[in-house]
Amino acid sequence: MAAIAFGGLAVGLAAGCAGHEHKAPTVSKATALAPVSGEVHTYVAKVWPQAGRIWPGMVLKDRRIILGDGKNARLITVEGVKNLAPNDLAQRKVAIPASGSLYTAWDGHPAVVINSADPVYAEDAKEERASLSQILFGAATDELFHSWQQRGKPADQRALRGTEYPLAVTPRLYRAMIYDDVLAAYHDPQVKRQRLGNAAYWYARWQKEYADEARRAAPADAAEGAAGYFDAVAAAMSEGADRKDAKDVREHVSYAPLDQGLDPRHLTVDGEAAPLGALSGLLLDETKKPWQQQVSRGQPPVGLLLQGVAPVPEQPSDDLRQGIQDVLAKQNSDLIPRFNPLLRAYNDKGDALLLVPLQTATGDLDTGGYYTTKDVPYAMLARLTGTFQFPTGTLRANEASVLTGAIDGRQYVIVPLDPEHKRTRLSDGRLKLDTGPLTGTFKVKAQKMKGREGLLAQ
């Protein structure tokens, strides 16, 4: 799960990234909190004190993980594991989220709080043939890395992110060819020069033919790419890899070629960024040149890797093209009935816009991904699921199709709605929703938004 920054606040929007398989000799089958927290601590103690060796300047040794399963909770630090009573959590105003994770502070230390009973983590463990403790360690490390990345950096509120809708085959094919070529270059030094030349060919075509997407993808390719690299090396080290031995790291970090099975989550701009960044960073390490500082300034690892590489033309894989076409056809079929009504509602100026501050989310917000279209100035989210808590009430989303973006410098989930609809009631400044995907009751404050009505959740 990738922790995405909105206005400087790290909120987990689990859009899904291509996973990597770890070649651990044994995989623990432990799922109970006590053994899992002990295993997570083993990884934390092994890796976090060495975080600066993975990414210069990175400090994790003073960070905290709080695991909870709904009944019990554990505090995990580099030093050890401590049981947490309900009072311990209440005194610090920390709650285990209903699902996923959230970023907070614990006694002045940056911390990530994770609901270890969330079935999503168990599903990820099964898919990656990893233990639950490995998945939880990776999720916590990823979120803490993102929060460190974002320190003191103002977010670009104007930037749109996401994959253009309707989904098109060709840009995804170009990016898939880059990935497969970079992957081959990493795993087989004998073909490294050839395959990097092939990757440079596809990268140049993608940048030229899809310049808008390339410009939009750059921040994600840098931020998610850096996190993908950090997570991959940290996972390898947690399994015993020697950070100084590139061959040893390679043995513990293995990504599968896309023609061995297409994960639909990989076929998005955001989903492509982490694995591309991880592999590119590992190859950049082999040059013995410092490169992380350039990535911290916004340059994507894949762009740095292919900078100055002479393009070598290559025929695209027909099987990969067909596979992508089949996957995207299914995704478009799913998105059309979700997004077309959303777009019509947004462009109906008679509908009000409900503004839900993103920072009111409790824990992770699961979504089917970010998408953009020329018809609206905001990103679109498919299948948003999560809970927003306000002083006056609660809003629950269950696979809702919504917009998200910045208004006057703040990040919101934006929902076009008709206040007079039978499932939407607005009375005395209190809004009641019961549409299925969106349910809740809370106060709203009316405000004008460029000639149309806005309703700000209070």
Give the highest mean pLDDT range of 251-260, 307-316, 404-413: 307-316
User: pLDDT by residue (tens digit) across 1-17?
Assistant: 233 332 222 233 333 33
Domain closes at, from 269, 285, 316: 316
Q: Answer yes or no: do 178 and 270 share one domain.
A: yes
Q: What is the pLDDT of residue 1?
A: 29
β-bridge pairing 379-390 and 393-407:
antiparallel
Q: What is the pLDDT of residue 6?
A: 29
Chain length of the chain:
458
Domain closes at, from 119, 149, 179: 149
Q: Answer yes or no: do 312 and 167 share one domain.
A: yes
Q: Answer yes or no: do 50 and 73 share one domain.
A: yes
Q: Answer yes or no: do 309 and 443 share one domain.
A: no
Q: Note whether residue 232 is domain-resident.
A: yes
Mean pLDDT estimate for the chain: 90
Q: Note whether residue 156 is domain-resident.
A: no
Q: Answer yes or no: do 259 and 389 share one domain.
A: no
Using the predicted structure, report yes or no on whether residue 25 has a pLDDT greater than 60: no
Q: What is the pLDDT of residue 156?
A: 55
Using the predicted structure, report yes or no on whether residue 240 has a pLDDT greater than 60: yes
Average pLDDT over residues 80-108: 94
CA atoms within 13 A on the CB side of 329: 6
Q: Answer yes or no: do 179 and 235 share one domain.
A: yes
At residue 154 the predicted structure's pLDDT band, cuts being 50, 70 and 90, is low
On whether the CB atoms of residues 174 and 210 are closer than 8 A, the answer is yes
Give the contacts of 166 (CB within 8 A, at least 6 positions apart): 332, 335, 336
User: pLDDT by residue (tens digit) across 157-213?
Assistant: 556 889 999 999 999 999 999 999 999 999 999 999 999 999 999 999 999 999 999
Q: CA-to-CA distance for 115 and 102, rounded, in angstroms?
A: 9
- Domain holding 428, by residue range, is 330-457
- Sequence letter at residue 244: K
Largest CA distance in the chain: 71
Q: Tokens 């309707």 correspond to what residue? A: 166
Q: Answer yes or no: do 68 and 10 share one domain.
A: yes
Q: Note whether residue 324 is domain-resident.
A: no
Q: Answer yes or no: do 366 and 336 share one domain.
A: yes
Q: CA-to-CA distance for 185 and 283, rounded, in angstroms?
A: 8
Q: What is the pLDDT of residue 153?
A: 64
Q: Note whether residue 157 is domain-resident.
A: no
Q: Answer yes or no: do 219 and 304 share one domain.
A: yes
Q: Note whether residue 280 is domain-resident.
A: yes
Q: Answer yes or no: do 167 and 126 share one domain.
A: no
Q: Note whether residue 322 is domain-resident.
A: no
Q: What is the pLDDT of residue 131?
A: 96
Q: What is the pLDDT of residue 45?
A: 98
Q: What is the pLDDT of residue 152?
A: 64
Q: Answer yes or no: do 144 and 42 share one domain.
A: yes
Q: Answer yes or no: do 141 and 219 share one domain.
A: no
Q: What is the pLDDT of residue 368?
A: 79
Average pLDDT over residues 35-55: 97
108-122, 225-239, 261-275: segment of lowest average pLDDT:
261-275
On whether the CB atoms of residues 21 and 125 are closer than 8 A, the answer is no
Q: What is the pLDDT of residue 161?
A: 84
Q: Is 402 exposed, middle or buried (0-12, 13-18, 19+ CB in 10 A)?
A: buried
- Nearest CA-CA partner of 149 in 78, 229, 93, 77: 229
At residue 378 the predicted structure's pLDDT band, cuts being 50, 70 and 90, is very high
User: pLDDT by residue (tens digit) across 99-123?
Assistant: 889 999 999 999 999 999 999 999 9
User: pLDDT by residue (tens digit) across 387-444?
Assistant: 999 999 999 999 999 999 999 889 999 999 987 778 899 999 999 999 999 999 999 9
Domain closes at, from 149, 184, 217: 149
At residue 448 the predicted structure's pLDDT band, cuts being 50, 70 and 90, is confident
Using the predicted structure, report yes or no on whether residue 316 has a pLDDT greater than 50: yes
Domain total for the chain? 3
Using the predicted structure, report yes or no on whether residue 291 has a pLDDT greater than 90: yes
Using the predicted structure, report yes or no on whether residue 77 has a pLDDT greater than 90: yes
Q: Note whether residue 54 is domain-resident.
A: yes
Q: Note whether residue 209 is domain-resident.
A: yes
Q: What is the pLDDT of residue 259?
A: 78
SS3 of the chain: CCEEEECCEEEEEECCCCCCECCCCCCCCCCCHHHHHHHHHHHHHHHHHHHHHHCCCCCCCCCEEEEECCCCEEEECCCCEEEECHHHHHHCCCCCCCCCEEEEEECCEEEEEEECCCHHHHHHHHHCCCCHHHHHHHHHHHHHHHHHHCCCCCCCCCCCCCEECCCCHHHHHHHHHHHHHHHHHHHCHHHHHHHHHHHHHHHHHHHHHCHHHHHHHHHHHHHHHHHHHHHHHHHHHHCCCCCCCHHHHHHHCECCCHHHCCCHHHCCHHHHHHHHHHHHHHHHHCCCCCCHHHHHCCCCHHHHHHCCCCCCCCCCCHHHHHHHHHHHHHHHHHHHHHHHHHHHHHHCCCCEEEEEEHHHECCCEECCCEEECCCCCCEEEEEEEEEEEECCEEEEEEEEEEEEEEECCEEEEEEEECCCCCCEEEECCEEEEECCCEEEEEEEEEEEECCEEEEEEC
